[in-house]
């Protein structure tokens, strides 16, 4: 009986040893695949690229990125992400009524200072913002609503003028 118990124990021990060896070899194979995969190099290079990018290289042609002071910057920092769509208003002073300066402009939060904001506007529309003293007030808009309005505008046929005949 004692010999039979010892035999059972030896069979169990060799079976566990085989399973343990298989588990360890599977872990080594997974580690080797992770280290040798080309995706690991891509992730490392993208991390260094994101650290070294500059915002001014992302400004589209014909647009300006104008840093500005917002009276509600703290509220916007807690409500918006890195990019938002806003209506920009001149902040009202005592006795004066505020008015809309720009509509549906993109607001960018500074990557190095989250409390600093800038707006992306066309060069033609920038003079109105630049000539005004701050601080401004920003109201968040739904970006999908703005995109839907832009696509919903009917296309007008170009004006054609015929001379003679």
Task: Encode pLDDT of 77-124 as tens digits.
Answer: 888 888 889 998 887 666 567 788 888 889 988 878 878 888 999 988
User: Which CA distances in Å does 9 have to 4, 45, 52, 142?
Assistant: 9, 53, 61, 69
In the numeric block, the tokens 């200072």 are attached to 113
Query: pTM here?
Result: 0.55
């Amino acid at each position: 009986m004692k010999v039979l118990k010892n035999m059972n124990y030896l069979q169990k021990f060799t079976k566990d040893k085989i399973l343990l060896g298989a588990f360890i070899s599977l872990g080594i194979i997974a580690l080797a695949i992770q280290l040798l995969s080309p995706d690991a190099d891509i992730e490392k290079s993208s991390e260094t690229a994101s650290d070294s990018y500059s915002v001014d290289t992302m400004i589209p042609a014909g647009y300006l990125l104008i840093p500005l002071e917002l009276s509600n910057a703290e509220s916007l920092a807690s409500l918006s992400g890195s990019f938002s769509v806003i209506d920009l208003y001149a902040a009202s002073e005592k006795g004066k009524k505020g008015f809309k300066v720009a509509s549906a402009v993109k607001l960018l939060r500074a990557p190095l200072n989250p409390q600093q904001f800038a707006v992306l506007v066309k060069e033609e529309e920038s003079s109105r913002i630049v000539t005004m003293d701050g601080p401004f007030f920003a109201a968040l808009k739904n970006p999908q609503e703005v995109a839907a309005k832009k696509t919903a505008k009917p296309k007008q046929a170009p004006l054609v003028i015929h001379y003679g005949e």
